[in-house]
Amino acid sequence: MVRPKKTTQTSEKEESKSMIQEEETESAKTASAEKTGETEPVIRILYHGECPKLTPRGMGNIKYELGINDENDEAYIRIAGNASSGAFNTKWVGVNEIRERLEKLAEETFRAIILQELYKSQSSNNHGFLGAILKAEGVLVGVEKPPSMLQMGEWTGLLKKIESLKREGVSLTDHIAVAAKERAEKRAEDLLKRKSVKTDK
């Protein structure tokens, strides 16, 4: 006799896993900001993108965003989502910072770990995810063997895309900020409920 699959239980586990990942990501970002005294710049989001990870072993795509700081006209990139498990930092990283880091390289081929210093968070996923984003935008190019190695591509396509979207006045929804606000409101609501229960007792 074949037992029916427990789809509800599996779905609940996946949802729980996703919630834990979101909390880990948000906690890592908050802890890093508090420790360094950093404040996130106000960024106008120009583009929501999605790309595969660097290696075939990496399951699920990465979501990312391109943005512009209208005060200083500086472009930014950030990791915005991960379809599988693994925490990451949602900090905006300046395109100029990335260019400076890559221009320092003496090697013709390199691994994504060279991008690690752009993040204060200790998550081991940040540099690999950023490397995948830069590869998707043509800034980096994959080397056939070994597959995890990279080499420089061209900045032209990415910079033209950002400039074009900026001039068009594109301003997309900041889903990360919206989700963070909703979580904060939910926590505040739960706290009030707990206080109410204690008062009734």
Residue 37: the pLDDT is 53
For residue 186, tell me if it sits in a domain: no
For residue 182, tell me if it sits in a domain: no
β strands within 58-113, DSSP E: 62-69, 74-82, 93-94, 109-110
Residue 200: the pLDDT is 65
pLDDT by residue for the chain (201 residues), tens only, comes to 444 444 434 444 444 444 334 444 544 444 444 444 567 779 999 999 999 999 878 789 999 999 999 999 999 999 999 999 889 999 999 999 999 999 999 889 999 999 999 998 768 899 999 999 999 999 999 998 887 899 999 999 999 999 999 999 999 999 999 988 888 988 888 888 887 777 766
For residue 201, tell me if it sits in a domain: no
For residue 192, tell me if it sits in a domain: no
Q: Which domain holds residue 47?
A: 17-173
Measured CA to CA, the distance from residue 84 to residue 18 in angstroms comes to 8
Measured CA to CA, the distance from residue 167 to residue 178 in angstroms comes to 25
Residue 49: the pLDDT is 98
For residue 1, tell me if it sits in a domain: no
Residue 89: the pLDDT is 94
Residue 45: the pLDDT is 98
Q: Check if the beta carbon of residue 162 is closer than 8 Å to that of residue 70.
A: no
Q: How many domains in the chain?
A: 1
109-110/44-51 β-pairing: unpaired
Measured CA to CA, the distance from residue 94 to residue 84 in angstroms comes to 26
For residue 195, tell me if it sits in a domain: no
For residue 96, tell me if it sits in a domain: yes
Task: Indicate whether this model's pTM tops 0.85.
Answer: no
For residue 151, tell me if it sits in a domain: yes
Stated length of the chain: 201
